Structure 1
């Protein structure tokens, strides 16, 4: 499906994602530097503020998704924008640690409300994916989540450029621009985004039948063992991608390469996404969801295998950038294949039908699992990096979990999908759905 062939509502939501990312990346990447240079905060305080922002967003995605199901996606999106405006205004007024912490938490909470609601609403433009997942066929159109990835990346590239220009005046100028951007998108969405039907936030007959036997319909995703397993396995994709911010910079430091090369690698990642996301997703569409997931995760393993084989101890001679470039390129290819596929499969696990269908909670749980995966994975990886240097182990040791986990996901996820399809198509599945006890 071409971009213009989507309904006006879908194009509006995709545009909102572009502007949301633009406003975010124009400010947040520069927050640590501003707190240090303009306000004199210590490293510990800065770390707490940044950690609180990440946790308030990643940790609250499930809550944001549940609220999107309860309030309706439109209301959650608008409130998310308003909360982020409040967060930026608090940062602009901040002069001490407490206000910076509050502003960071509000900024993250705004994203936690906005993203699951937007993905839930967008998933209804992706309806053919559900049919494909259930019958084992292949998609006949380009998933809307492919466009979400491309448009989101454009905002992620343009945001820091805008922020760096505004920082020539001050960090407050960047915050003011961010407030203006989010205010504009809030007004646009208020007028352009249609309200959901009144029945969208009601409990369906199936949910009413199962309310006594299972959890609240908005939290049913937590009792769906197959979906929880799907989220845990799929979260390996987010853990792998996060190494652009964690392990890759450390590997550059090991090789004696300065931070300027990291910027070049980020530029490479963005360029590959903008140039190749559409053709890569077309390949994934032809392959089908199961093979696309397997190949995508195998690519992640290959990327980290290259990193492990070519890794070296700090201070080693003949350090080369080429292996790191190959690692990043293959990692991004795998990520481009995986992300739209994963997002398009999430609605197939929602037992209810209709415009709301509890999808916000499903998208929220997937995002929260990704955040937990990054927190736990990076903690373990950091420990391995430290032990490797102290014990002079083989320098590729820290990469081993990052090689094995994607291989596990490549093997297990297609089996989870097959089991899920069989469960949905079996006559007994209707009874399971009505009882509220999924999978």
Structure 2
């Protein structure tokens, strides 16, 4: 057990990986959900600029996952993960002390680049460990990913609460608190993760491109990319709906806690249900729930806010349906990736999956940021951005119905 020694671990203890996701989400959700409100209320930026900043942050992370995954494949996960934690700390410090848009943008991008390094490396380690666990008759790979999501949501429960408590002191303290979490993560993972065995061959970019030589995999990641575009609206579109309802940043914490409670209680059962249903049914159903999330808000957007606590009902519907959709589709989708990849290129394939999502978020946020300004107050046009957002997961549901009918067999390790 790594806890019994002050020296770094020499073998991987698989529960460390879900635990690391708890720490990462704690630091992430303490800061990023409040970034849009900071940009809108404190820096007085327009919806288009806010969408650009958040899109660049997501693209810097998801759009560079392929590079992070390839680096992890070549140099080993541990060093890449530690480097990613250090870069995210630097990004949070820039957000904390930045006084203008020109410091906030690189700070947001650095937070994303850090995630681009540590996230695909962690997922590739988990996929390998889950494959070996399943082969030995223990917990299967999809269940490990579901447990990974549950542990992440435990961090997501505490993150917004911690961030909300610090918002009274200012966004600087929120960002500094997030930086402190990742400093702790860096120190702990240095002890808990084993170093990769040395490799003598030269670094090759070949794994990056082989991911795009598989037409079915390319179609799969393009269809899957609307999941990240949709779920990213918790950071861009959800604050817009809260503003329409007359709410404030204090309402964000309870809504993210709602998502976390749903995932903690339902993720493992829904992952098992999705596995029984099969990807050909669970993935389209998940995307239909995402489309329903945006449609539910569109029904309320043209009208004045409801009275009392019901004013947050549309926002709660958005969060609930987005969360249920992601619980069905994400573990199932990630369980499919090894069917397209050899074990030696898993990191690059998971990176390609995230890169497509990052491109979708950047383009989508630039397009929808200005449109969401029309939904800040009730009006006859306020429902249009929400209906347009619903079209993307609806198209993905139709595409994946076709793509998943003839999946390639699992590549032997």
Bin for the TM-score computed over the shorter chain: 0.7 to 0.9
Indicate the SS of the match to 1:358. helix
CA displacement, residues 380-414 of structure 1 (integer Å, 9 cap, x when unaligned): 44566678999x86764444444443333223224
Q: Is the contact between residue 143 and residue 344 of structure 1 (CA under 8 Å) also seen in structure 2?
A: no
CA displacement, residues 215-264 of structure 1 (integer Å, 9 cap, x when unaligned): 7124311222221211111112222223333444444555x443365554
Asked if residue 219 in structure 1 is aligned to residue 209 in structure 2, the reply is yes
1:25-424 to 2 correspondences below 5 Å: 25-30=29-34, 43=45, 47=50, 52-91=56-95, 94=98, 98-127=102-131, 142-166=142-166, 174-198=174-198, 216-251=206-241, 253-254=243-244, 256-259=245-248, 263-308=253-298, 310-313=299-302, 315=304, 322=313, 324-350=315-341, 352-353=342-343, 357-381=344-368, 396-421=383-408
Q: What is the CA-CA distance between 1:60 and the residue it aligns to?
A: 2.1
Name the CA shift for 1:269/1:174 in 2 (closer, same or farther; >3 Å).
Answer: closer
TM-score by length of 1: 0.74
Name the CA shift for 1:108/1:408 in 2 (closer, same or farther; >3 Å).
Answer: closer
CA displacement, residues 267-315 of structure 1 (integer Å, 9 cap, x when unaligned): 322221222112211211221222211221222233344444x244254
CA displacement, residues 175-224 of structure 1 (integer Å, 9 cap, x when unaligned): 5544443233223222221223446x8589xxxxxx9xxx7124311222
Q: Is the contact between residue 14 and residue 126 of structure 2 (CA under 8 Å) also seen in structure 1?
A: yes
Name the CA shift for 1:409/1:33 in 2 (closer, same or farther; >3 Å).
Answer: closer
**1:54 & 1:178 partners in 2: Cα distance?**
17
Q: Is the contact between residue 203 and residue 217 of structure 1 (CA under 8 Å) also seen in structure 2?
A: no
Q: How many residue pairs get matched?
A: 393
Name the CA shift for 1:305/1:56 in 2 (closer, same or farther; >3 Å).
Answer: closer
Q: What is the CA-CA distance between 1:124 and the residue it aligns to?
A: 0.9
**1:23 & 1:286 partners in 2: Cα distance?**
34
Name the CA shift for 1:140/1:22 in 2 (closer, same or farther; >3 Å).
Answer: closer
Indicate the SS of the match to 1:143. helix
Runs of 5+ unmatched residues, structure 1: 1-6, 132-138, 205-210, 431-439
- Higher CA-based Rg: 1
**1:377 & 1:49 partners in 2: Cα distance?**
12
- Alignment correspondent of 1:3: none
**1:323 & 1:269 partners in 2: Cα distance?**
14
Q: Is the contact between residue 160 and residue 253 of structure 2 (CA under 8 Å) also seen in structure 1?
A: no
**1:91 & 1:385 partners in 2: Cα distance?**
24
Indicate the SS of the match to 1:258. coil
**1:46 & 1:327 partners in 2: Cα distance?**
23
- Alignment correspondent of 2:5: none
- Alignment correspondent of 2:3: none
CA displacement, residues 68-93 of structure 1 (integer Å, 9 cap, x when unaligned): 22222222111111222333445556
Name the CA shift for 1:311/1:177 in 2 (closer, same or farther; >3 Å).
Answer: closer
